[in-house]
Amino acid sequence: MTAPAAPLIVASGVSAGYGARPVLESVSFTIQAGELVALVGPNGSGKSTLLKVLAGLLPARAGTVRVLDAPPGRQPRRVAYLPQAEAVDWTFPVSVLDVVLMGRTPRIGWLRGPSRVDREIALEALRRVGMAHLAERQIGALSGGQQRRVFLARALANEPDLYLLDEPVTGVDPTTEEALMELLDAECRSGKAVFASTHDLSGVLGHFARVLCLNRTLVADGPAEILRDPDVLRATYGGHLVEVRGGTALLVDDPHHGPDHAGARRGHA
């Protein structure tokens, strides 16, 4: 009998923060190959912090983390990390194609230029997100939604086994969101895994099989349908929860947000 494959992510009792301020406390979960998993919670709940820990950009203060059976950050060829839009310098003078080619850097190294094959892979990634026609445009000249599509193409160009995505479809129109989620679902069906933060609870119900609800610690972990449970929403969003009525949640995030998010948003489940 074949032994079951090891999880791509194993987090056990993970705590993390910035300076003297704790953000995550005793978070534990696993993610397997083939899973499409959403990460939800209010502003400042630790979503971006958790993704940074998994990407190896922020050390855990307590607990253990294994990503692809190694410490975080040790498998750059197999992990693609997409930061929040606010964390990117959009004035940097590079083209759309150059940005996507950066996704090939873990495979080609910093000292070698991209080959013809690398460029073909980058262009194919742009085609998959509907942005190949803007390959030569300066990245800062694009709309916010277009920029997110380009950075998702950069993640695709890395050809990873695991995607760590911080609000990957924020700012895109509903038709584009549907297309991008179908693309991520296809990646999971091919044996890869996607772990993505989002504020769009209706999008989670429509596209994700599993959801992790975070508010500094892990509040709930289960099928996306748990977002229809008012008790789960209250535990996750606390004072952010305005109203739960007839199975519909109306949520408003705190505008005095922490380092995880920028701005106030509204979501419906």
Would you say residue 101 has pLDDT above 90? yes
Model confidence pLDDT, tens digit, residues 44-73: 999 999 999 999 999 999 999 999 999 999
Q: pLDDT class for 115, splitting at 50, 70, 90?
A: confident
Give residue 92's pLDDT: 75
Angle at 22 (CA atoms; ends 18, 23), nearest 5 degrees: 85
Cα–Cα distance measured from residue 83 to residue 95, given in angstroms and rounded to the nearest whole number: 18
Give residue 144's pLDDT: 87
Among 26-30, 84-88, 130-134, 206-210, the range scoring the smallest mean pLDDT is 84-88
**Quick one: average pLDDT of 13-33?**
95
Q: pLDDT class for 251, splitting at 50, 70, 90?
A: low
DSSP tag of 1? -
CATH class given for the domain over 1-78+161-226 = alpha beta
Would you say residue 90 has pLDDT above 80? no
Give residue 250's pLDDT: 53
Would you say residue 255 has pLDDT above 70? no
Sorted by where each begins, the domain ranges of the chain are 1-78+161-226, 87-159
**Quick one: average pLDDT of 161-186?**
92
Can you list the positions of beta strands (E) in the chain? 9-18, 21-31, 36-40, 62-67, 79-82, 162-166, 193-197, 210-215, 217-223, 241-245, 248-252, 266-268
pTM of the complete model: 0.86
Cα–Cα distance measured from residue 43 to residue 262, given in angstroms and rounded to the nearest whole number: 8
Mean pLDDT of the chain: 86
